[in-house]
Amino acid sequence: MGVILLLTSCKAINIENNSKSITSSNSDNLYESNNSIEEPPIYYPEEFKTIEELKRSFFAICSEEKIKEIEEDENNNNKGVFRAFIYSRTTDNKLNVPFYKGAPITLRNKEGLPIISVFPYEKYNKPWIWYQCTEKNTDFIIKTMYIDDSVILNEISSHDISWSINRIWPGAPNVNNYSDYPIFKKIYIKEYELNDRKVSALVTEFNDDPRLYVEFIYDDMLVSIQSKPELLTPEFMADLSFASVSLSPKE
């Protein structure tokens, strides 16, 4: 495992509190704050080549020195969140990873592209794990974000996905406000049948990006899938799930 420099290209969305003006460029992610959605800083995510390596080496990123470095980063406006993320994982030494047809999902091995990346803060200024995947001759991204606030997790259990995302990060684009921003073609709620459950997903369509962004709650995770719409058929989604894997104990 090594640390790499990854500068994520981003939908540069500038939201002014009054006019709500917005501009965009091609992206793989949205980086959002309470008052704006803006270009992300340069990230130094931890990279893993396989799920097995992720299991073996996950806690290597969790030294107190590393956590303090992240908390002191001037771009990190959500102090203590990465520490909470690590603490929650050490409680039971488990991590939920994407599965397809009952086995770990196929990861694409494209030269120069991280396969699995752990971001200490990314969308919604939270830690995310990115999985670069490929199935049915189509490349796509699955991202997972743990909801480590038990109060929020309890509240969102009785609300729809649009409300829930807005609760996780107030002001996030949702079904009620997307029309304020020209970047969005449509945001709507859609039901999907996964391998083991039905989920209510927030689906985002962009005017300048052919991919769909699909977000849903799975246990204590917010899952985001970025893919061409032709992949996300009922048949594909019915074979998708997430399974718990054991992490090597923190030393």
Task: Please report the pLDDT score of residue 82 as a whole number.
Answer: 82
- Range of the structural domain that residue 11 is part of: 2-246
* Of 247, 251, 249, 250, residue with least CA distance to 55: 247
Tens place of pLDDT per residue across the chain (251 aa) = 333 323 333 333 332 333 333 333 334 444 333 333 333 344 457 889 999 999 988 887 777 777 777 777 666 666 678 888 888 888 888 899 999 999 999 998 776 678 999 988 888 888 999 999 999 999 999 999 999 888 899 999 889 999 999 999 898 999 999 999 899 999 999 999 999 999 999 999 999 999 999 999 999 999 999 999 999 999 999 999 999 999 887 65
The torsion angles phi and psi of 146, rounded to 5 degrees, stand at -80, 140
In a domain, 111, yes or no: yes
Dihedral over alpha carbons 184, 186, 190, 195 (to 10 degrees): -40
Supply the DSSP symbol for 67: H
In a domain, 251, yes or no: no
Which pTM value belongs to this model? 0.81
Q: Please give the structure tokens belonging to residue 93.
A: 């030494």
Taking the CA atoms of residue 12, residue 161, residue 130 and residue 219 in that order, the dihedral angle to the nearest 10 degrees is: 160
Q: Does residue 175 fall inside a structural domain?
A: yes
What local confidence, expressed as pLDDT, does residue 112 receive?
66
Number of domains in the chain: 1
